[in-house]
Amino acid sequence: MSIRNLHILILVSVAYVAAQMVADIAGLRDLILFGIAADGFSIVYPMTFTLRDMAHKLAGAHVARALIIAAAVTYLVAQAFFAIIAGLPPQMSEAERISLGALLTPEWRFLLAAVLASVISQLVDTEIYTRWARRFGQRNQWGRVLTSNIISIPLDRMLFLVLALAGTISIDRFLELFIGVTIVRLVFGIITIPGIYLVEEHSEDWIKMTQIR
């Protein structure tokens, strides 16, 4: 891998982790998109799947998987710090302290559901991308992103809802929460597809490096 591509990989990796964190913050804002009730999370989060694909293209599946796990750990560590900070004596009124604490410390079931859904769906995205690249090589690179996104984005939403809300909502409510938000996320996921052409395919030298044990 050239120094230039290594620098690009670092930038893409940072953008991937940053997008995960920004999506979480943006999720605090409820929106109506295309007539569908969603939130800011649904705008930013689909971008992470394409950023993962870009890292995969630059450095291969091993690096993409490491990036997925690193982002999940970073997210959990950040939430742990938020929980600690929320419990410290603040320079504010009691009502403000309670509101801030509620904002910084989400329900752990929802938090863990979000992390597990993200890790599993992103790993599935990695496998789909890998299989497409093996079959078609450098042809139809848009297909790598499209195919992996249209499977992994709905999978992420479904896993989150099952892990976070199973046993607490009806099937009709489940479908309502799944279909609308998934459509919005797929739209924004498809918009990001051209990003795959902004990076180069990883070199033979990099492939040999990943085989070193």
Tens-place pLDDT, residues 95-104:
655 555 555 5
3-state secondary structure of 27: coil
Mean pLDDT of 182-195: 94
What number of CA atoms fall less than 13 Å from residue 140's CA on the CB side? 10
Q: Report the pLDDT value the prediction gives residue 84, as an integer from 0 to 100.
A: 78
Cα gap 111→76, rounded to integer Å: 8
Q: Report the pLDDT value the prediction gives residue 208, as an integer from 0 to 100.
A: 58
Question: Among 184, 196, 185, which residue's Cα sits nearest to residue 50?
Answer: 196
Does 26 score more than 80 pLDDT?
yes
Contacts of 4 (CB under 8 A, 6+ apart): none
pLDDT in tens, 39-79: 888 999 999 999 999 999 999 888 999 999 999 999 889 88
Rounded to two decimals, the pTM is 0.81
Does 189 score more than 90 pLDDT?
yes
Cα gap 212→151, rounded to integer Å: 32
Mean pLDDT of 156-178: 92
Higher pLDDT, 119 or 98: 119
Residue 156: pLDDT band with limits 50, 70, 90: very high
3-state secondary structure of 212: coil
Q: Report the pLDDT value the prediction gives residue 203, as an integer from 0 to 100.
A: 61
For the record, the structure tokens of 20 come out as 């995960």
What DSSP letter does each residue of 147-181 carry, written as one string? HHHHHHHHHHHHHHHHHHHTTTS-HHHHHHHHHHH
